[in-house]
Structure 1
């Protein structure tokens, strides 16, 4: 990276000292927490790449190559203006420009994350920084009106030849490669990550990694998972490293982040500058080295022969040493580590967590293994933080404990599947259930008698409050029925009644729910011509029951004025 920066700064004439000073200046002025060492290389103070830095194997991009161009030293602020003479803007101003559709996608993603994950504090400038490094802002904004790239943006195939080895996971659906995965789109997601991280950012009902609105929103959610707060430097660094697990990558993104924070402006789509340097340039320039040919130096009789490496014992062929197996390589299967029954009421957090153990064929625990937990089924239950996938590293006892599950509003059964990342072993399924919200207590909020005259309308409406174990029972299903008597709870065919939307008489109401405070106000009640005492029975899911007395009686004649005497004949 420092070499690339040196080429741009001095066009081949700068010395090592000049390049080091330039990077140091950039680090001091632009990237918080980033400094330069004695050789001009950038370092970050609060994060180091490590296997545990990511929440998923291979990071969002599979650690694919990225653009290495550094931002100019000149600040983009204040916003550039073109004079009457048409003077071109400075390099800093040109670099600060972001294509209109791409910029709109970043800002819309920030707005959505403010609502869905306000504690994350995602700045759109971070998405712009990653978009610059990953694809040069969708290759200078070469996108259609809806944000889809005009041509595919693909990283190299991840076949293990200089890159990670990730065999095909999508049947070539996104990258057109049925042998190996490739990073796809303006934010360079690999298909296996897009499968769970993908989002629909432009509201067309499709999650497309080639669409900048979809990709930007997915990147925002990816960076915000695990309850990270990106206003905290350590969390910010961890999020960036989870995108691409490289110290150089972290430093570069931080530099662009600070650069965009100082000011940027909108430019027309397709007019942006495409970076030139790439992190895999050295691999392109230096393919696999050829074996060193044998020395052709002639020997002279009496002179010592060139030194040669010691040979192996004659007749014994040399065998290349095999690489030591990683902990993941030794895993034979996953075993349950004492997970209790997983049940929660809708809207509540599950009180029990999933514990899974990675073991060898001999039953020995394996630590430092990534276990991925995935919520499967027709459910809106997620892990804390709103994600349906979480990856946890096993501890020294070989146990990985999944994050807390948060029940949604969809009731019924679903599954949480545990699998070993990077190892084709059978997954372990954990059944879980979300039950409906219930109440165990129901009371009226007023002791006012509910009375009415025949053929009239009750002046007051019945209001009740539900609770469960002493706490407010919100969103609990309620049924209200006008019954014949305490001993006969069948629906009454006379007396008070409700009206439906068409004004017709109904004596049973279903589909009612308490509000956020556990309160429910029933619709108005009306009376037919029958007088007497009647019962309204209110019941909730969970069995809470309350009977409310209704009285229909003729008006009290004693309260009326006496009629005037008739005039005499």
Structure 2
């Protein structure tokens, strides 16, 4: 992220400073990081294969390797202190150790969310705070509204290849306001092409806004936790940070702030945070409207390496009398030789809700002549209104082609939403037509229903049935959980029309209903119907239950008056009585 509030200095110089600071921090043996790990990081830890491959984010990770702030934390460790009261002056030291209240809440809320959804990741909120500090100075010192949205967009420089990576517009300016080139956007500095699949709704307002610190923090957390990472393992944390911005100087700087915040911090009022003043890029590239301190006359513009966040100075121009030699031609990378994608035997993508798709999407990268190309990154993206994911719970996966030029996406896992969606395959780093694969999720099914219990279901007219109807649904012999069902009081075995008399259910308002449509079996395939009542009509009635998948069961209900003992008529002489003999006249 380019510095927005002051003069920038070259990343090469800041790398040495970062290394020294990390070495100094290592002496304190901060919790969670081994001294030997910090020593390796300070000496310039090399990007992992994961990070150098774009960290699954495509063109330079989440940020497109945009410039970032290189300011380092004070060498004096912060002491945890109570949060200052709103309106109370905040000293420079307090502000440096503190984090604006709303921004801090966003980081902690993101950690809580990830602890629930991806507990194996062990994401510390302090890592989000460290990245937020380096990327945007904690949203410009906490200049956000009550909902966490920045008062004005935070934009990095145009990624037009002029001193930065070249990333042509991918969002038609929707996020960054630039329809020619992409820019990193928001407090966590996502490039639009990454936000399109990595964006999250962190504050529950139904939107995924990169300028909202809650949304951006949650998205950053998920991005860091990708690929089943465990961030309690230092090597995996390093890979995650390098994946965010592929620069060893960036890694050192983030780790410095991580350990600083781990030692103790507190919240400060929004808008009172300190603003960084140094960055890894050149001040002339800063898009921020605020004034910047001009560079010194003898300073040279820096150029950011396309593959990382560091900077290099341009070489001295050739003198007029020196011979000009053309550099040797650089052979194209495997990615540059790809002309198109071909299907590589993908099967039909259909699955029942909650189940894993039997087939996977597989594509092959080929040259114009049809030759397979190995070692090319292919991105698979789930598109559409669906909660289906790849194994691991993500909607995007990046796979490197094998020796045959084939990349196979992870298995798809159907969500609960039924209907169609698309799996799109594209070549990372190239603007080529992708391949779209239609996928369909069908509703859960049952093919058999049985009643549990054999008690006769009876009731007196105007009364209520003592027993509820209890059923069990199965599919191919296995329990059929979460299957939709309908229950109807029908007129007869041959007439499925709803009956207008006899037993009935009651709705929430106590009104008579004889058809229930919003029924679902539980995880064990069990279904318990609501209590049944009877009107004044006596007789035998039928209740029919059907499920998605065709399972049907008809249950008999009887309504009859209660049986009573009939007393003897006192006027009727007993059959055993002997009549009196009549008198003889």
What range is the shorter-chain TM-score in?
A: 0.7 to 0.9
1:248-303 per-residue CA deviation (whole Å, 9 max, x = no partner) reads: 222322222122111101112222222233223599742344413246xxxxxxxx
Instruction: Report the Cα offset of residue 426 of structure 1.
Output: 1.6
Q: Which residue pairs with 1:543 in the alignment?
A: 550
Further displaced range: 502-511 or 52-61: 502-511
Instruction: Report the Cα offset of residue 434 of structure 1.
Output: 0.4
Quick one: distance in 1 between partners of 2:105 and 2:73?
21
Confirm or deny: 8 A CA contact 1:498 1:505 kept in the other structure: yes
Q: Which residue pairs with 2:26 in the alignment?
A: 27
Q: Which residue pairs with 1:372 in the alignment?
A: 379
Q: How does 1:425-504 map to 2 (within 5 A)?
A: 425-504=432-511
Instruction: Report the Cα offset of residue 417 of structure 1.
Output: 1.1
Instruction: Report the Cα offset of residue 489 of structure 1.
Output: 4.2
Pair 1:234–1:468, CA change in 2 (3 A):
farther
1:465-488 per-residue CA deviation (whole Å, 9 max, x = no partner) reads: 212234332221111123344454
Is 2:294 aligned against 1:293?
no
Quick one: distance in 2 between partners of 1:261 and 1:509?
56
Q: Which residue pairs with 1:55 in the alignment?
A: 56
Pair 1:134–1:415, CA change in 2 (3 A):
same
Instruction: Report the Cα offset of residue 344 of structure 1.
Output: 0.9
Q: How does 1:497-512 map to 2 (within 5 A)?
A: 497-512=504-519
Is 2:231 aligned against 1:230?
yes
Confirm or deny: 8 A CA contact 2:50 2:56 kept in the other structure: no
Confirm or deny: 8 A CA contact 1:48 1:247 kept in the other structure: no
Pair 1:5–1:246, CA change in 2 (3 A):
closer
Instruction: Report the Cα offset of residue 397 of structure 1.
Output: 1.6
Further displaced range: 171-180 or 51-60: 171-180
Quick one: distance in 2 between partners of 1:94 and 1:242?
29
Out of 352, 366, 370, the position equivalent to 2:359 is 352
Confirm or deny: 8 A CA contact 2:465 2:533 kept in the other structure: yes
Confirm or deny: 8 A CA contact 2:51 2:239 kept in the other structure: no
- TM-score, structure 2 as length reference: 0.82
Pair 1:161–1:55, CA change in 2 (3 A):
same
Superposed CA RMSD in Å reads: 3.2
Instruction: Report the Cα offset of residue 135 of structure 1.
Output: 1.2
Pair 1:198–1:527, CA change in 2 (3 A):
same
Q: How does 1:14-413 map to 2 (within 5 A)?
A: 23-28=22-27, 29-30=29-30, 32=33, 35=36, 41-44=42-45, 47=48, 50-52=51-53, 54-57=55-58, 58-79=60-81, 91=93, 94-280=95-281, 285-287=299-301, 288-294=314-320, 320-413=327-420
Pair 1:504–1:48, CA change in 2 (3 A):
closer
Instruction: Report the Cα offset of residue 319 of structure 1.
Output: 5.4
Q: Which runs of 5+ in 2 are unaligned?
A: 1-10, 285-294, 302-313, 572-585
Out of 517, 526, 529, the position equivalent to 1:522 is 529
1:225-256 per-residue CA deviation (whole Å, 9 max, x = no partner) reads: 33333233333222222211122222322222
Quick one: distance in 2 between partners of 1:373 and 1:48?
19
What is the SS of the residue equivalent to 2:107? helix
Confirm or deny: 8 A CA contact 1:56 1:390 kept in the other structure: no
Q: Which residue pairs with 2:306 in the alignment?
A: none
Pair 1:169–1:252, CA change in 2 (3 A):
same
Pair 1:137–1:406, CA change in 2 (3 A):
same
Aligned length: 530
Quick one: distance in 2 between partners of 1:155 and 1:504?
61
Quick one: distance in 1 between partners of 2:39 and 2:265?
32
Instruction: Report the Cα offset of residue 80 of structure 1.
Output: 7.8
Is 2:540 aligned against 1:533?
yes
- TM-score, structure 1 as length reference: 0.84
Pair 1:362–1:266, CA change in 2 (3 A):
same
Work out which structure has the larger RCO, using CA pairs closer than 8 Å and 6 or more positions apart in sequence.
Answer: 2
Quick one: distance in 1 between partners of 2:447 and 2:468?
23
Pair 1:270–1:469, CA change in 2 (3 A):
same
